[in-house]
Chains A and B, each alone.
Chain A
Amino acid sequence: MVNRNASPAATHPGPADPPAGGADPAGSGEERRRSLPARLARRPLAILGILVILACVAGAVFAPVLTSYEPDVPLFEGLTLTGAPLPPDADFPLGTDLLGRDLLTRILYGARTSLIIGIAANGTALVIGTLIGAVAGFFGGFIGSALMRFTDLMMAFPALLLAICLAAIFQPSLWIVAMVIALVNWVQAARVLYTETRALSQREFIEAERAMGAGTARILLRHIVPHLVPTIIVWGTLGISTTVLLEATLSYLGVGVQPPTPSWGNIIFENQTYFQSAPWLVFFPGAAILALALAFNFVGDALRDELDPTQRD
């Protein structure tokens, strides 16, 4: 019995194994030991995204400290003599709205609503979507068909109408609205993740797991779901802006977060007809939604790449 050591090429004459991937083993060894936060920290866009998200969270949490106005109290000095809203100036950094309320204050308080909707509603939608998509894709057969036909049904049903019905049945509150949005939004994610799981469960490494005697739960959680992470992240970041806007639509229809509680979406909807005379009223909350969605996008992209061992350089 030949005692083989490290390099198989060393003990055998003849052509050597071709080098793998082109990656320098010593260099990537260094890379592997770095932790995930450390690796994220080397991506400028990810840092920018994290900072923006932290700023939003801080703004929401510390709103009462950051501003001396109340979000829902109209101010006499917030309007011109003819009753028009004020553009940004020294007292009102982002201007005032139609009722003379400070826009910065409303955006800061509105961040609470929008973050809860964007993260909680979207997160719940993703969890439901992943669960249904992965289970249906993995088991296929009767369970798979039943789950996917139900998904199709939900997809075919007008989402807005469903949300209105649900919101009308339950008393509208922030958390109910979040759940309603989650129940409407899981469908697309489920559809996409179903297809991906179907393809994944045909892969040979899943077969190898089965041949080793691995149980269903282990295969699903340890080998299927990790491969779904990139798609989940992409859907999650895309979902932030759509859910925030869906909340705004619901508010507009009177079944969302009830006024005078501000959310970024309902600030836009309240003021959209005055877009021409008072553009700041739509621009600032719109910019806030855009910044938040982009920030999640940057962080999501970075996470997706860093969580995939084959993508690291």
Chain B
Amino acid sequence: MPPALVAEGLTLTVGRERPRQLVSGLSFALAKGETLCLAGESGSGKSLTALAVMGLLPRAVRVTGGRITLGDTELTGLPEAAMRPIRGDRVAMIFQEPMTSLNPVLTIGRQLTEAIRAHRPVGRAEARRAAIAALDAVRIPEAARRLEQHPHELSGGMRQRVMIAMALALRPDVLIADEPTTALDVTVQREVLALLADLKDEIGMGLVLITHDMGVVAEVADRVLVMRAGRQVEEGPVAEIFARPAADYTRALLAAVPRMGTAARADAPKRRPVLAATDLCVRYDLDSGVMGMGSRRRVFAVEGVSFEVGERETLSLVGESGCGKSTIARALAGLVPYSGDIVVDGRNAANLDRAGTMALRRDVQMIFQDPFASLDPRMKVGDLVAEPLTIHALGSRAERRERVADLFARVGLSPDQMDRYPHEFSGGQRQRICIARALALRPKLIVADESVSALDVSVQARVLELLKELQEAFGIAYLFISHDMAVVDQISDRVAVMRLGQIVEMGTAAQVFDDPRHSYTRRLIEAVPIPDPSRRTFTGARLAGEIASPVRARHDPPPRLLLRNVGGGHWVAEESEAMAAA
């Protein structure tokens, strides 16, 4: 059988006066019914390769060598007018963020039928039937009703299913999926990946899956192409690559992937609490109406959460998006109003004067998810790291500068980089800058909100290592917030699993990961892709119901979960019959 998609020596170049190759001499062949994963870290050229296939390269980037062939059609050099009927019909693409790829003001039905009618001479009624069939194919319940809905009425996983339905409605020969599950929760990711694999077999198309996640690669790939800085590092069958990686880079990449259940477990001694949160609640009203009156719906973002973080301890909050973990971080940083008690080092945050509040701010520092977004782009990084010292009026200018130089060395940056601006650094370096800033005041607790999620795995591994070193050196406690179970498994002493604003299970990392008692915890752990192709755990596409939401009627708080100690500080929420079944 001839391959569905072939790239031969594909070379992409940016710029005319000082041309720079972004992808150099890339070759691969994709058979029908096969899944090829393009794996690599950011900047490796995997997305550009996909755009080149689609004929959607940015204006500044040109194909300067090689060719791409789809079936018997050569795509490189094809004029836009000839490319248009092919795109969407014979080769389709889905993107990372389903919300931004769907038009928010048009109904799902309108967008689907338009895509169909752009390529097929069919009437409205027939296009509608095809659209319903496509939604059925991606296992969306009540397909006919969905046609009338707008994108914002669907959950993230549902939206990505709609995108897939749209891409597959015309049964293309090749589907390119660019990080299709990166923005989704693990349980949803699992469903979407299983669905893609199913549909690929059903339609008999070739699937190019672009991902940075070696766990995803191991779960779905037939063959893997590892890319780095625009070059092909290694290509081969997935089992081969994982079992016997030939290139050093592949080995390093695989070594950096966090794996569940590989962390050394130490018994957590009882420690003096640095932070104690008791019965923490954060609620806010929606559709506020006139002057805040008449609101009927309320978000119960955090509902009666209690936990402690001890000296030199790392407590992780894990859970899927919307579970309230980041809201807790914001409450601790004084960014949202809350009820309940937050006690830091014996001082209650609620009833403090200005000086007390400032002292509290000194003790609790925060590291955000996106290091670039959390650094003022108009300030030099040296000034940014000195910012907390300046705010709290500590030291003279010269002393502050010396302190900052110290911190730079501490987090693995060179002090002569102090006069640069944030955009001159890489993602990993920027996060080091944020860490240096958080350390400046010698806090007792650092709240790290998804602080390594935006980083490539190799960079992530080094930042995690740095965080551990700093904990040893300064005795800092961490409240580590993440959706990534494998990372949490690596770094935590204790773990609290959250769902819908409440803790469902809390205990040492060993208790929670090795002996999960709550059904939700078990589901989360099972959903984590395992970076080992010999241990595939796919069990077909499960039909997802609507995800439960923390938005409720204003006077109807969710029922409080009762935590029961099952031994050794391992707390598990009691489950009702309904929850266990869900």
Contact = CB atoms under 8 A, between A and B. Distances in A.
Interface of A: 1-2, 4-8, 11-15, 17-23, 25, 28, 32, 203-205, 207-215, 218, 223, 226-227, 308-310
B339 interface: no
Contact of A15 (B41, B391, B414, B419): B41
Interface in B36-79: 41-43
A212 B391 contact: yes
Contacts of A310: 377, 421, 423
6 contacts: A14-B253, A14-B255, A18-B427, A204-B370, A212-B441, A309-B380
A311 B252 CA distance: 35
B362 A213 contact: yes
Nearest to B383: A222
A304 to B, nearest CB: 12
Given A204-B373, A211-B365, A214-B391, A32 B428 contact: no
Given A11-B412, A15-B41, A21-B423, A207 B374 contact: yes
B41 A207 contact: no
A183 B116 CA distance: 56
B101 interface: no
Contacts of B377: 205, 309-310
A208 B368 contact: yes
Interface string B160-186: 000000000000000000000000000
Nearest to B370: A204
A309 B421 contact: yes
A235 to B, nearest CB: 19
Given A21-B423, A211-B333, A308-B378, A204 B429 contact: no
Contacts of B255: 14
Interface stretch (B5-13, B118-126, B454-462): B454-462
What 10 A-B pairs are tightest by C-beta distance, nearest first? Answer: A213-B361, A14-B252, A211-B333, A6-B414, A204-B373, A309-B421, A8-B412, A17-B426, A4-B412, A15-B458
B424 A15 contact: no
Contacts of B249: 14-15
B253 A15 contact: yes
Nearest to B250: A15
A10 to B, nearest CB: 10
A204 B450 CA distance: 13
Contact of A1 (B411, B441, B469): B469
Contacts of B459: 17
B409 interface: yes
Given A4-B409, A210-B333, A15 B428 contact: no
Interface in B256-275: 256
Interface in B217-270: 228-229, 249, 252-253, 255-256
A309 B333 CA distance: 29
Contacts of B426: 17-20
Interface in B375-409: 375-378, 380, 387-388, 391-392, 409
Contacts of A208: 366, 368, 374-375, 437
Contact of A18 (B41, B387, B420): B41
A166 to B, nearest CB: 34
Contacts of B413: 6, 8
Given A25-B424, A208-B368, 6 more contacts: A15-B253, A18-B426, A18-B456, A20-B423, A210-B334, A310-B377
B378 A213 contact: no
Nearest to A310: B423
Contacts of A214: 387, 391
B473 interface: yes
A227 B458 CA distance: 34
Given A1-B473, A8-B432, A32-B420, A205 B375 contact: yes
Contacts of A4: 409-412
B357 interface: yes
Given A4-B409, A17-B427, A214-B391, A204 B469 contact: no
Contact of B462 (A12, A22, A205): A12
Interface in B312-366: 333-335, 357-358, 361-362, 365-366
A213 B352 CA distance: 14
A303 to B, nearest CB: 14
A227 B375 CA distance: 13
Contact of B424 (A18, A28, A218, A308): A28
B391 A20 contact: no
B373 A205 contact: yes
Nearest to B229: A18
A23, A211, A226: residue with the most chain B Cβ atoms closer than 10 Å: A211
Contacts of A211: 333-335, 361, 365-366
Contacts of A5: 409, 414
B133 to A, nearest CB: 42
Contacts of B358: 213
B424 A213 contact: no
A20 B429 contact: yes
B469 A2 contact: yes
Contacts of A205: 373-377
Contacts of A18: 41-43, 229, 426-427, 456
Given A6-B414, A213-B357, A17 B428 contact: yes
Interface string B437-452: 1000100000000000
B374 A204 contact: yes
A280 B461 CA distance: 73
Nearest to B430: A20
Contacts of A204: 368-370, 373-374
Nearest to A208: B374
A205 B388 CA distance: 13
A41 to B, nearest CB: 21
A213 B391 contact: yes
Interface in B15-53: 20, 41-43
A94 B391 CA distance: 59
A214 B365 CA distance: 12
Nearest to B376: A205
B456 A21 contact: no
Contacts of A7: 414
Nearest to A8: B412
B424 A20 contact: yes
Contacts of B437: 208, 212
Contacts of B421: 309-310
A213 B373 CA distance: 18
Contact of A17 (B253, B334, B375, B429): B429
Nearest to A18: B43
A23 B333 contact: no
Nearest to A13: B252
A101 to B, nearest CB: 50
A21 B424 contact: yes
B279 interface: no
B423 A212 contact: no
A212 B360 CA distance: 10
Contacts of B229: 18
A213 B392 contact: yes
B43 A207 contact: no
Nearest to A28: B424
A259 B456 CA distance: 70
A246 to B, nearest CB: 33
Nearest to A312: B421
